[in-house]
Amino acid sequence: MKITHIIGIVVIALAIGIIVSTAGDASVYLNFTQANELAKDGDAKQVHVVGKVQKDAQGRITDMLYNPAIDPNHFEFTLVDNANRAEKVVYNSPKPQDFDRSEQIVVIGAMQDDHFQCQKILLKCPSKYQDGKLETTEHEAERGPAKTAQL
């Protein structure tokens, strides 16, 4: 065989290996009920849940807990999924900058006991430059032990 044929086969084998390895890491879009069922079955894989935050009549977010003076890496809020189930979401990083403006939120993580432990938050915010379009921003929780501020 020629050296070019061997190099071609190696490149194709690497491409197949990369495709197979990334396909195993893909998570799925579910609602909180389905995510809870997965957690009860012992499946700890990460899932995407799409929803909106609870707001009062004035448009202010309700059931949100974030106090950076006490713990800047602890953020809790209530998310209502597309099946209208409300669930507490815990995010162990600072509150994302445009969280209050977001129209739709995608949380990536897994159910844990009484809450959804979030690793990433994707915010769908109205674009400031074009009417009717949404702008997406991604925020990821920090790895390692949570840092707590001392008063």
Coil vs helix vs strand at 105: strand
Cα of 124 vs its chain's centroid, Å: 12
The contacts of residue 141 (CB under 8 Å, 6+ apart) are 91, 92, 93, 118, 119, 120
Instruction: Give per-residue pLDDT as tens, 40-65.
Output: 888 778 889 999 998 888 888 888 99
pLDDT confidence band for 147 (50 / 70 / 90): very low
pLDDT confidence band for 1 (50 / 70 / 90): confident
Sign of CA pseudo-dihedral 69, 64, 118, 95: negative
pLDDT at 9: 92
Fold of 28-140: OB fold (Dihydrolipoamide Acetyltransferase, E2P) (2.40.50)
